[in-house]
Amino acid sequence: MSLTTFSFPTPTLFGAGALAELPARLTRLGIRRPLVVTDPGLPPTPAFKLLQQTLGVAGQGTDWRLYSGVHPNPIESDVTESAQAYRQGQCDGVIAFGGGSALDVGKAARLLIKRPALALADFDYNADWTGLPPLVCIPTTAGTGSEVGRSSVITIAATHRKKVVFHPELLARLVILDPELTRGLPPKLTAATGADALTHCIESYTCPTFHPMCDGIALEGVRLVIDALPRACRNGNDLDARGRMLVAAAMGAVAFQKDLGATHSLAHPLSTLCGLHHGLANALCLITVMRFNSERQPGLYRRVGIACGLDVMKGTDAEADRVTIEFLAGFLASLGLASKLREHGVKESQLEALVAQAVEDPCHATNPVPVTAADFRNLYLSVL
């Protein structure tokens, strides 16, 4: 049996109005002048207004600085500029506030604060990364779960390729999950980000790594999404549903320390080459991958079906999978997530480039069954 690390270490403050605790928590973490890292879409939103009210205006309350230049798929300069803003503002901690991109940049900026000459492409896992500035992560979407992750995905300028920077020291010291902050998310984005969380739970549960703790978390995450996502899409002000989705998203990301599968390998190129939203790309590919996996390993999804509330305890493995997959296909369709890739501008002429990147993507290494280039081509064609 190989050695495995089971790790669930992020203190998480959850609940409507939890953001009000932020000033006291900053003090407890020794942060007197935080740098808020976010993207340019956030400052005009009610969520950001809540943050401003909580931190206070200059001269009253917390003395804080702002970097709001994070790109949707974050680039290296977002990280270097954040680190510069931190130094110029003589800050002593980071608040990453926003979707997955802002959280990833906030996490990674601390590496350059410790080592200003670092080129992210040359990140050395074995260097001494202790003593990074304390980080508080506050998500304003419920999907990526980046707030509880220990990696950042940053596009390197010189190569135009995404670099995954992974280190346990990147973890936040505190996560605040406050459904008041996701209230304003429009239904389409709520559905797409929620589908990302669902995909994390399903792919991490079915990835073959031995991790029963993550398996339990993943299945409960599925149950939460099935219950809460339709409600959050129907009524954005349903704070109970919003809160459950925030927790489900964090659970999905905790679970995928096990790793992911072929759906993410199909989805990543759809974002980098065709500009699709990551959650949408996952939603459009999930069902075809489930069918592919189930044909080769029947019974894979029986417990996913039970987590969905389906009566699939008895019956053959193939039947349990079929019922579960049909239910999830209907679930995604009811959220407006059943369109074809071509409806989102993906062209058949892009197929070979998509397949090449999907094959190179590391996620499918932990898919429950092997996936070849020919399989990836057929999977794309089935949803094109």
Which residues contribute to the site for Fe ion (CB under 5 A)?
196
Q: Distance between CA atoms of 363 and 278, rounded to whole angstroms?
A: 14
Q: How far is the CB of 269 from Fe ion (least distance, A)?
A: 13
CA distances from 210 to 184, 253, 268, 294, 349 (A): 38, 17, 25, 19, 39
**Which residue's beta carbon is nearest to the bound Fe ion?**
196
Q: How far is the CB of 40 from Fe ion (least distance, A)?
A: 23
Q: How far is the CB of 266 from Fe ion (least distance, A)?
A: 11
Q: Which two tokens stand for residue 149?
A: 């992750």
For Fe ion, the closer of residues 26 and 281 by Cβ is: 281
Q: Distance between CA atoms of 363 and 217, rounded to whole angstroms?
A: 20
For Fe ion, the closer of residues 199 and 293 by Cβ is: 199
For Fe ion, the closer of residues 71 and 114 by Cβ is: 71
Q: How far is the CB of 256 from Fe ion (least distance, A)?
A: 8
DSSP-derived letter for residue 341 is: G
**Phi, psi torsion values for 208, nearest 5 degrees:** -75, 0
For Fe ion, the closer of residues 51 and 285 by Cβ is: 285
Q: How far is the CB of 170 from Fe ion (least distance, A)?
A: 17
Q: Distance between CA atoms of 376 and 288, rounded to whole angstroms?
A: 11
For Fe ion, the closer of residues 76 and 203 by Cβ is: 203
For Fe ion, the closer of residues 100 and 106 by Cβ is: 100
Q: How far is the CB of 153 from Fe ion (least distance, A)?
A: 10
How many residues would you count in the chain? Answer: 384
Q: Distance between CA atoms of 132 and 171, rounded to whole angstroms?
A: 10
Q: Distance between CA atoms of 359 and 137, rounded to whole angstroms?
A: 32
Which contiguous run of DSSP H or E holds residue 317? Answer: helix 317-334
